[in-house]
Structure 1
Amino acid sequence: MLKYGHSLIRLILVALAFHSITSSRAKSAERQTVAPKSRHRMDRPMLAALFLPPYHLKSTEASLEHRHLANIESVEPILDIAIGDAQGRYIYEWSLDEPWMKLLKVPINECEDQKRVAWAALEAVKWTNGSGLDVAFGPACDYVLATANRILSFSKVPMFTSAGFSEWFKDKANNAELMTRVGPLQDHIALMIEQLSDRFGWVRPTLFYQKAFWESELLESGFCKMMMTGLFVRSANKQSNLSPNPRILPNYEGDGGIREVYAQNLIDNVGVERAVIILCASPDTVREIMLAAHDLGMATSGEYVFINIDVSTGSHAEKPWIRANETNSPENEKAKQAYRALKTISLRRSDLDEYKNFESRVKERAEKKYNYSAKTGKEYEMNNFISAFYDAVLLYAIALNETLTEGLDPRNGHNITSKMWSRTFVGITGNVSIDENGDRYSDYSLLDLDPSQEKFVEVAYYSGASNELKQVSEFHWVGGSPPKDSPICGWDHSKCPEGYPVYVYLLLGSAIFILILMCGFIYFWRRYRLEAELAAMSWKIRWEDLNGDESKKEKKKNKRSRKVHGYQYESEALLRSSSRTSVTSDKRSSSSGATRKISAMIDRKFSIFTRKKSSPTQDKNNQQMNSHNHVDNSQSPFVSNVEGVHFKEGDVEAGDRRVSSPISTNSDATSKKKKSSNEDEFELQTKKSISLRNRKLSFGGLSIKSGGSVETIQMQNNAQIYTKTAIYKGTIVAVKKLNIDPKKYPKLELPRALLMEFKRMKDLQHDHITRFTGACVDCPHYCLVQEYCPKGSLEDILENEKIELDKMMKYSLLHDLVKGMYFLHSSYVGSHGKLKSSNCVVDSRFVLKVTDFGFHKLHAMEDENIDEIGEHAFYRKKLWTAPEILRNPSAFPPNGTKAGDSYSFAIILHEMLFRKGVFYRDDEPSPKEIYDRVRKEPGPDEELYRPQIPESALSDDPVEPHLINLMMGCWAEEPHDRPDFSVIRKVVRSLNKNNETSNLVDNLLKRMEQYANNLEGLVEERTQEYFAEKKKVEDLLHQLLPPSVADQLISGRAVQAEAFDSVTIYFSDIVGFTALSSMSTPMQVVTLLNDLYMAFDGVVDNFRVYKVETIGDAYMVVSGLPERHDQHASQIAQMALALLHKVKNFVIRHRPDEQLKLRIGIHSGSVVAGVVGSKMPRYCLFGDTVNTSSRMESNGLPLRIHVSKQTKEILDKEPGFRLVLRGEVEMKGKGKQTTYWLKGYKDQNIPDFGPEYA
């Protein structure tokens, strides 16, 4: 393909460029003289050349103006921004004061004319020869690219291009060793088409491509021809199953008669045998082909599919059929119908906010700095061809930074290129991967016309890195299904004759008869299956089945836990278990060894502070619980130790909660007396003892800011909320006991209607309703078993002040509630009837689900006596009920009405928006008062008695007016004035549209992120406390031990004793300290020593010494350990002089006129140092040097510095110290020793304390 270009290049190289190539090689040799490991700043900016055509360029074939996708005007602002971004990220350490890269614009003409190729070669020679070119961007035409590449490669200049589609460029070792292709490659498009064809069984596509390609295209004849040739070559080499039929299209020049030409091409080359047509042409040509296909019926029959390769992703990508200058408006509608049969392959655009911001920056830069619209006559439009140049600059900057860091020559293209290939970096579109051959892995989108949105949307995408075609949404086919590889009837129906033989009708009739027989068989078989399922009662759960092996294992595990932790009561083990899952026990980062012990100590202290002691009454109740099978909900949360059915800890499950409050205390006592006989019968009928474990809500104590809601009254009464859970077939389930009197119903009758309801409830599945697991109908254990949601109910979440819910989270939960209710209203259930916030539970994924619906016939058997459950709880349950149902409950069905559910939804909505509790009012009415006021019919001018909207909540966190209007509409007095859930769903969906359009994983992640953010504050607070305590401990350890030794202990390493050959030790004490102490009070002595040693410590900090210890009035300092150095004697001597000067000015508080007499001794020698002891560890020194130093101090004189002979010899090596011979001194255990007095150092003398101390 490039043979003419290659021969011409050879002539140019021989005739014109030999001397420039030679000089370039010489320059390259000079570049290699740089020391390979020297780090240096850039001596000058990197010089880059931009080889692209200008925007206005006259065609050599016709007088048409070609506007290229990638031209100097469109790429220049991108490179400008990329150079600035790269400097801030990677080049700031090496760049000069001026920009790190200078850009030279080299206009390259079109590639049809071989003379222009020669001109491009001359341009490359000129820029390479004289200016020291470092990197090149472009060209975008393969002919020009090959020419420029050959010349620039001799000068070791790396190249970036968004073109290079020819197979010739794949052989990088021989043809393009310094070229990096950052644009789309036809290989990936061919692989995508092959995978798409394999998925739908297509093997014989027709390839239509345009030789002079696109009025607004980049590569003219190169791209389409090469892409189509690639498909054909892969087929010829048996690399794919496709048998393509390539055909060249005539150029579109705006002539109206071209459509007939395209139609004839479709008839001749596609006809009735091939159904898949792959197009590679300009947008106008594609539109004319699709209109021609529409006229022939190919685009509307559903038997043909057109696949358009559009490598750009401009504004025409979503609605490419529209032409703004179309005078015939029906033509656009006709084109839209034709485009339903078209699929488009395009470069995948990034949806990241960063890319959108980048696009805005580029447009702004193009207009303000380069006046783009004035030059080109149109607005700036971004596409992946030109954005690839941004990634190219970043990649070059990364490689340049690494090259400079390693001390290599940055002007050698081989050094740069080797660091750009086989790597992944973060570009403007996300992660960008370059393979080992220097080619970019490109991703492509398959676009499809969505009829509902009336625009092209992504239905699948191809990942170049993984070579995989992934579907993201449903395809839209004209015929409802993918076309076959060959049309069934053809565009002219020539393959489907008008009349059929008689046997065809006979076969058709037989098929219909057989179909009827099959339908009848299926009907009766399904009826038989239904009756069999009703008789099998798969929903039925035996009471003994809740006592599975899992519960026994769990009980053994709990017992082991109690033994290990040493708890006296099982409740303590439960408390410990709950503390593990609390906020305070979240994972903390800590270092090994001592810091882990500190973390464990803090955790233990926290658990001790949060543990509650049991009262004697509770212990007594606990013993009573252990001796009886029945467990009352109002008892203490201690758990009985008897064996039997084991219920695990669980959170609040709606409808199965018991509220204890002083309001219902008397009624509870009365009810216990009434139940005594039933409990005796319960014990006789139960074969196995039962251990029920009631679990408190995992969100902790409930609280609310306002004091005017029913919840506040409930909280002030110290109410506790429980639920029961059990393990059934290895899964934790919620158990809701039915309050059915076993005497009245010793055996439940199960009519067919009730059996049908059980089956329907078992089959009822939705993401936002709880699953019905089964029911126990064995007397007296009547209960319902449902899905367990560990996060508790919506009421509990709203009442917990520690859980912060932003608008997104509230709308998400609200949307879940609406979707669940919409499903119930659309199902056989019809309506809920008992909708309230406590009947909305939240699972572990923070998804809200509606519960406690259905089974109204069973609930009708329950005894609901106001004397039994208390007035407060009885009327509180009615606060969500619609007023018309409160006035006349018997006039409505047991499952309520849809309008009544809308009213209940309004009350819940008020709870969620303002978090003031149910039916908030400023006057704080009781539930009975609210019940009476709502039940009473309002007068003509009387205001409805409904929850109040707090003004403070509206001002602090404004609520959407749509929600306020929706809430007030739902609690309207007349049922027909309330909107149903289809209307509610639309309103809530509009508020939650961001979550509605996202996929399930994104929505789940948002919810979990919000839940994590709620805990983040507490975790951060606890973490800061932990780190503060840890820092205190480490600081204290650094004060007690040398820093190097303390660091070893903190890191968990053992400190080994270490020998030091030469150190200098300082000893001092206070002469007459005993007499001074006898004349002072203990507090005065302590104050004296504290003042003195504080002053000494301030002096010691100025020298390279380590304070070993202070014992009484003795002060010991050493130099030369644990950090070894040769100045230890000098440092100790200078410190001793400084301490004498400090003593000179030291004033004893209680005896200001008395001079403190300090006696100092210094000696040098070898010692051994190490940490002694595990409790109160000390860093101690051992050896004869320590004893000699002490003797030097004790045999010295007040206010003098007594120096041994060994120390004197060391000090003599450093001029400046003045020492006076004292003579021989008899020392205990040492005999006679020659010692000296230290008088001063350089211009510093010992202080003058008077003639008696001279």
Structure 2
Amino acid sequence: MVTYDLFNLNKNDDELLKKLIESSSNSRVYVLLMSLPDVRRCLLLAARLGMTSREYLYIVPDIEGSVSTNRSPWQFNETDDMAAKKAFQTVMFINIQRPVSSDFSDLLKRLNQQMYGSDVSKYVTSTYSDEEENVNQSSIMAQQHILSGYYNAFMIYLTAVNETLAEGKNISDGIRLVDRMGNRTYVGKTGVIQIDYEGNRVINFSFSDMIDEENGTFEDVVWYIDLTGQINTKLGYSQFWPAGEGYVKDIPDCGYLHELCQSDTSDTTVAVSCGIVACILAMSIGITVVLRIRYNTLKRDLYWWKINLDEMQPIKNNLTKSTFSSGFYHMSKLFAYNQSATNATESSVASNGIYLYKGNMVRLNPLCDTNIHVTQSLLTEFDQIRDINHSNLQRVLGAMLEGDRKMIVTEYCHKGTLQEILMDTKYTLDSVFIFSILSDIVKALTFLNKHPLRVHGRLTSDVCMIDSRFSVKIACYGLPTIYDHIKLQNKNQSLEKDLLWVAPELLRHGGNPTPQGDVYSLAIIMSEMLTRDEPYSNDKESLTLKELVEKIKSYQDPPYRPTVSTTPELMTMESLMRKCWDEDPEKRPSLHSIHSIINKLMVNVNKSGGLVDNLLQRLEKYSSNLEKIVDEKVDELRQEKQKSEELLKQMLPASVADRLKAGLTVEPEFYDCVTIYFSDIVGFTVICSQLTPVQIINLLNDLYSCFDEIIGNYDVYKVETIGDAYMVVSGLPTRNGNEHASQIAKMSLALLRSVSNFTIRELSKEKLKLRIGLNSGPVCAGVVGLKMPRYCLFGDAVNTASRMESNGVEFKIHMSSSTTSILTKFYKFVIESRGVVDIKGKGLMETFWLLGEDQQSENPV
């Protein structure tokens, strides 16, 4: 890239520094067309910026002959000579070869006498300073070189005239004269002069390089013969370019801003080393130069905002769910509509979006539009907001804009948005609180108005974030490339809702946001604070959102605005609000005047104490209210816990449920002897054929509710119900000796009596025929399954009890000999032998009928 930049060198160093910084982003080879003092000044400034490394080359045409008269052109006998010597290592001078004959010296003396008179030393060796003397000598050399050129040109012309006259030709024929002067060689006072066939003088050049870096002396090292194109190099000299490693590249391998190379450990080491050297150099120059270097270094760091997701730690805390929207609530409405983009990040972003970054809580906000790319304008926008650090503006800490995962990282605000606070009835908003919030918003807008951003342009109650100290932090400022592009790509109802805060003149004619537009948006927020409701909430039921916007845009008299009613102490605020939403933007008060009015209002309502005192009282009131809410929630939690425990005990034995609640395992347990009850309804299939499914469920529910109420009077545990089958056991999980047989027997008699009185609602004449079977014996019991766990019994005693039921008769209790043995040995029951019965899977068994309980007999049957 070739760039020509004209610059007034009489300006201060700041302007020259600015030019150097701008050029470093697209150049590495410079041609300095300036005097030697200005070259020296420019190189010293370049050294401050780190622009005199081996990847830079400065070519200086030495028209004045500075190197010819002074082989150390950097030396001005100043304190910064050493720095200048180092900077001049990247310089290569281009010199016009000057004649060294005695005739040329005589000619110069004659020219000096014509220019300065007889006393030449008066002008050449006067009382100049070292720098002025160098300038004076160079200036004289330049004048002599120019005058010698005029002398040669005139002598060549006279030679052509004399030759033309000698041939008797007309000297007024200019074409003939020009033809005679070209393509020939002249010998004059200044040496041999060659003119090519086009009439141009063949000039030989030499290149001077600092071959002795220790002493800093320049010498001619390369000579260029224009006529033949031949290049001659000084004997033993092989380092033509200052870099010493080949020619200097116009575009470095790593790019102008090092964007084409990935930094590694070695790069870091080099950078640290360079930083140490730069600091040492800066200390010698002074604190002013150090600050200037720091400023320019930061200015060039255009990618300060880049953040890697690996640098952050997700915070998975249920306490953050209530403020999930905090930090980017408003713009999340823009981001949530491209599900394909948000889903791509769900696997890598915490569900609540809250992360820990460099010790601070931050909010990650996924961008729904993946077509956002890093451009020069976006870099400029990030640079604009980089140094914004205001107590009422939410800081943008960085962004991730690579690949499909595009996010913006912002400061985290614990309390959510202002709109959430206004809608939450648990917050009490007094006048001091309202004016304090309003003051914070105005402070932020005033700051932006003085900043290069000038305006916010997207102000709503949704972008007013509330931090843990109830201070307002406005979000979504700046970065129009991102925000406006997202709005353009995602036109939907939620985005159109934001138009309710936009000034009518901007709705009608569009254009860029204005400070007057922000004042109008502030007025709409005031209406929300006075009504504690969304703007135009009274009209939203009768008008669509589009119709509301059209009414705002229309020229009505009076203009269409939200309906507001307020208290006497807020009448002044209402008056200010109406001025702020005036139809004429020029009649709206300025942010400065609004700030003054709000400060006066705060003084009037805050006579009882300072703002800090009121803030502490407000926080104390909120804390007390929060404690009350916490107590209520804890009480609700306690009640729900009790319900859960009761439900668990209905599903499992109490002792088993207690072990599960304690986090203990329930191991299977063996019981020597328990009594098991099985029952079913004879002819249940026939009954079901006469009922609908719902009626069948109602029948079983009525029957089992009756059974459940009865078994609660006995030491038994209901195992399960399957259809019309009902299973109960006694003797586990709490052992009760031999009482289990008596408890089951008494319960069975009670259930049999209840069935005789049970009526089916849909079949009042139909009677349920209950059939019961009992057996006693050893079993193993334990909890089976993780989902819907069941307390199950295993063992041959369970199968035998089931066989007793299936081989029984309706309205009778069929028992095995094991149960009968326990009952006849210890208890008074009426038992009758059924005889020997062939039981499936068991063979021949003697079984018994339990007929009742003998209340009068003193001895067992």
Q: Normalising by structure 2, what TM-score?
A: 0.45
Q: Normalising by structure 1, what TM-score?
A: 0.33
